[in-house]
């Protein structure tokens, strides 16, 4: 097993992402019941909902330009496993 050391900024982003994932888990029933067929993400505790992946990406980047959201598609029928559409690493300086 290889361990890597995170910078303070990387650790801060990791902790924010983890908090958002926890909030998604806590709100998952609400999200799966109300947003079928939509793309969703939670950033800084705020739920973003849209019809396309691009719409969500644009909403998040306008409000939180240094965050890279983990966007999920909520299927019409719940399969028990969320579909993760895209998660990309933040580019330095963007």
pLDDT tens-place string over residues 17-60: 999 999 999 999 999 999 999 999 999 999 999 999 999 999 99
Phi-psi region of 6 (alpha: psi -120 to 50; beta: other; left: phi over 0): beta
Measured CA to CA, the distance from residue 62 to residue 40 in angstroms comes to: 16
Measured CA to CA, the distance from residue 62 to residue 14 in angstroms comes to: 20
| Domain assignment present for 13 | yes
Measured CA to CA, the distance from residue 94 to residue 1 in angstroms comes to: 31
| Domain assignment present for 92 | no
| Domain assignment present for 70 | yes
Tell me the pTM.
Answer: 0.75
| Domain assignment present for 43 | yes
| Domain assignment present for 93 | no
Domain that holds residue 75: 8-86
Count up the domains in the chain and report the number: 1
| Domain assignment present for 3 | no
| Domain assignment present for 1 | no
| Mean pLDDT across the chain | 86
| Domain assignment present for 55 | yes
């Amino acid at each position: 097993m290889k361990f890597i050391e995170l910078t303070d900024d990387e650790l801060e982003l990791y902790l924010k992402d983890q908090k958002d994932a926890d909030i998604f888990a806590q709100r998952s029933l609400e999200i799966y019941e109300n947003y079928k067929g939509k793309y969703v993400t939670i950033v800084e505790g705020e739920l973003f909902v849209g019809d396309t992946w691009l719409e969500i990406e644009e909403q998040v980047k306008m409000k939180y330009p240094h965050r890279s959201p983990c966007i999920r598609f909520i299927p019409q029928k719940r399969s028990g496993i969320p579909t993760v559409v895209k998660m990309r690493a933040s580019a330095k300086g963007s």
